[in-house]
């Protein structure tokens, strides 16, 4: 039988290998070390992976913040940096990019997201006010508390169960918001902070349907929504893939709709925006914009650079356009899923479903012989480094810190090791190395000992705390 041109049978696309939508132009050598060397280095670092030198790390999955590879277009843009103190042309490029892609009218650059959080919390929180969030993030909650505000968890209960397969574990529980208003009153709420792809829950997204419900609730009560938009593009991708009515819709359009339900956002450009430094506040609230402009001058620099060089702003502007390329974001999230699938197939307990920026290993189940007060996630992160030179980080009781009133350890339900994948940096062969190390450790997990904390900073202790193994 003759074949009709154009009607040849095609293999299903989803069964084919999809390569990265870029090619490698510059390489950075990696250094392999011995197990004995790594054992000594983690001891010197107080069993805290944050205190290791990068030169002693083979595959660095500590964070996706500022660790992305920039494109040739971004590097070219950096050579066009206008380093004027005032009115840099690169600021106006950044402003235009934010307006076009995020949809916010006003932009205040900052040196990174933490500065945006600081300015926002200082301006928007009165002492004693609550800030509901879909689960806490460490620095966000710290800035809320420094402004004498109170964090309130309004995420759905499924988010606290690592094995629950709910596709949108970043959703807000409206009943929890109602309860807060009933108990404390509307005036007791400063704003609602929403994080796309909730970090501490395992990179879990919220749905557009839930966001619409939350926005309607916020309008009824006159409470503004401020996004922590750090990983909003990854959330938009999950909406595209998982939520009815969004299949085939460009990620760019989905992101713009997401942001339309908020008054503004704080941004660490070191994630979605594909740069090594930078951030901003974006808003449609002119009064807040004016106040933020005034404060950024005090803490950061003039409002048209905000702690950044012109070249940095140019790189961010170009990164904003690159991040909403559908081929790029699909490749980025699929690499995370690749690592997650390898661990899942080997029986390694991880947070399900796999998130957009990292695979989170469930240290409670991995090291079930260790009680939480012996810091199992911290111990597992240290053991992973010793085994293979792979650097992850703890997201559990150490990151949760202490209750400011009681002084007791906060005990989160989730005790995790985060394996965070930098954007456009590693290949899937690197992911295989990570997976094989986790699998090897799982086979000998009973040999991993708990830790005791021997030095504890007062603020954000997970960055600088030091530990020692518990001797039987």
Contact of 201 with 141, CB cutoff 8 Å:
no
The answer to whether 227 is a known catalytic residue is: no
Catalytic site residue from 33, 105, 138, 299 = 138
The residue annotated as part of the active site, out of 137, 288, 366, 375, is 137
178 three-class SS: helix
Map residue 117 onto helix, strand or coil. helix
**Active-site residue identified among 141, 271, 332, 342:** 271
The C-alpha angle with vertex 95 and arms to 93 and 98, in degrees rounded to 5, equals 110
92: region left, alpha or beta (phi > 0 left; psi from -120 to 50 alpha): alpha
Token duo for residue 204: 């879990």
Pairing relation of β-strands 225-228 and 192-194? parallel
Strand-pair partners of 225 = 192
Catalytic-role residue among 124, 169, 270, 395: 395
Measured between alpha carbons, how far is 323 from 231 in angstroms, rounded to an integer? Answer: 10
| Backbone φ, ψ for residue 68 (5° rounding) | -70, 160
- Which one-letter DSSP state was computed for residue 170? T
Is 360 considered catalytic here? no
Q: Which of 290, 246, 236, 285 is nearest to 101 (CA)?
A: 236
Q: Give kind and range of the element (H or E) at residue 455.
A: strand 451-455
Verify whether residue 15 is a known catalytic residue: no
Which one from 35, 37, 43, 85 is the annotated catalytic residue? 85
**Is 37 among the residues known to form the active site?**
no
Instruction: Choose among 147, 142, 117: nearest CA to 267.
Output: 117
Cis peptide preceding 199, ω within 30 of 0: no
| Tokens describing residue 429 | 């062969």
Catalytic residue among 237, 289, 328, 462: 462
Active site residue 138: yes
Give every CB contact of residue 245 below 8 A, 6+ residues apart in sequence.
none
Which among 60, 64, 228, 272 is annotated as catalytic? 228
Catalytic residue flag (residue 238): no
Write the burial class of residue 469 (CB in 10 Å: 0-12 exposed, 13-18 middle, 19+ buried): middle
321 is catalytic: no
Active site residues per annotation: 85, 137-138, 228, 271, 395, 462
């Amino acid at each position: 039988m003759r074949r009709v041109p154009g009607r040849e049978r095609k293999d299903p696309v989803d069964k084919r290998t999809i390569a990265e939508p870029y090619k490698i132009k510059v390489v950075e050598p990696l250094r392999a070390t011995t197990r004995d060397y790594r054992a000594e280095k983690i001891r010197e670092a107080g069993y805290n992976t944050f205190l290791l030198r990068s030169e002693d790390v083979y595959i660095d999955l500590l964070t996706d913040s500022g660790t992305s590879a920039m494109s040739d277009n971004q590097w070219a843009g950096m050579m066009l940096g206008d380093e004027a103190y005032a009115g840099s042309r690169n600021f106006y490029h950044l402003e235009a990019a934010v307006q076009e892609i995020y949809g916010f009218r006003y932009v205040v650059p900052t040196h990174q997201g933490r500065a945006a959080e600081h300015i926002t919390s200082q301006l928007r929180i009165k002492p004693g006010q609550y800030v509901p969030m879909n689960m806490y993030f460490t620095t966000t909650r710290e800035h809320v508390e420094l402004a004498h505000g109170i964090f309130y968890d309004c995420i759905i209960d499924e988010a606290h169960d690592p094995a629950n397969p709910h596709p949108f574990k970043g959703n807000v529980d409206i009943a929890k918001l109602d309860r807060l208003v009933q108990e404390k009153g509307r005036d007791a709420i400063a704003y609602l902070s929403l994080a796309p792809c909730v970090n501490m829950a395992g990179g879990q997204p919220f749905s557009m349907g839930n966001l619409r419900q939350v926005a309607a609730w916020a309008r009824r009560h006159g409470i503004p929504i401020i996004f922590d938009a750090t990983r909003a593009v990854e959330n938009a991708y999950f909406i595209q893939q998982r939520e009815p009515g969004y299949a085939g819709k460009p990620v760019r359009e989905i992101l713009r709709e997401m942001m339309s339900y908020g008054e503004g956002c704080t941004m660490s450009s070191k994630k979605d925006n594909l740069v090594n430094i930078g951030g901003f506040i974006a808003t449609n609230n002119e009064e807040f914009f004016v106040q933020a402009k005034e404060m950024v001058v005090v803490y950061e620099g003039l409002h048209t650079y905000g702690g950044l060089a012109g070249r940095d702003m140019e790189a961010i502007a170009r990164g904003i356009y690159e991040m909403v390329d559908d081929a790029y974001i699909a490749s980025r999230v699929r690499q995370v899923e690749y690592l997650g699938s390898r661990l899942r197939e080997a029986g390694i307990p991880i947070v399900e479903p796999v998130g957009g920026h990292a695979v989170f290993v469930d240290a409670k189940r991995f090291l079930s012989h260790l009680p939480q007060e012996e810091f199992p996630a911290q111990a597992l992160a240290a053991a992973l480094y010793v085994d293979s030179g792979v650097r992850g980080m703890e997201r559990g009781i150490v990151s949760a810190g202490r209750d400011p009133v009681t002084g007791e350890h906060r005990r989160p339900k989730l005790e995790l090791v985060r394996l965070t994948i930098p954007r456009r940096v590693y290949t899937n062969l690197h992911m295989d190395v990570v997976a094989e190390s986790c699998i090897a450790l799982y086979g000998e997990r009973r040999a991993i000992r708990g830790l005791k904390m021997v030095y504890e900073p007062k603020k954000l202790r997970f960055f600088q705390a030091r530990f020692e193994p518990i001797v039987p």
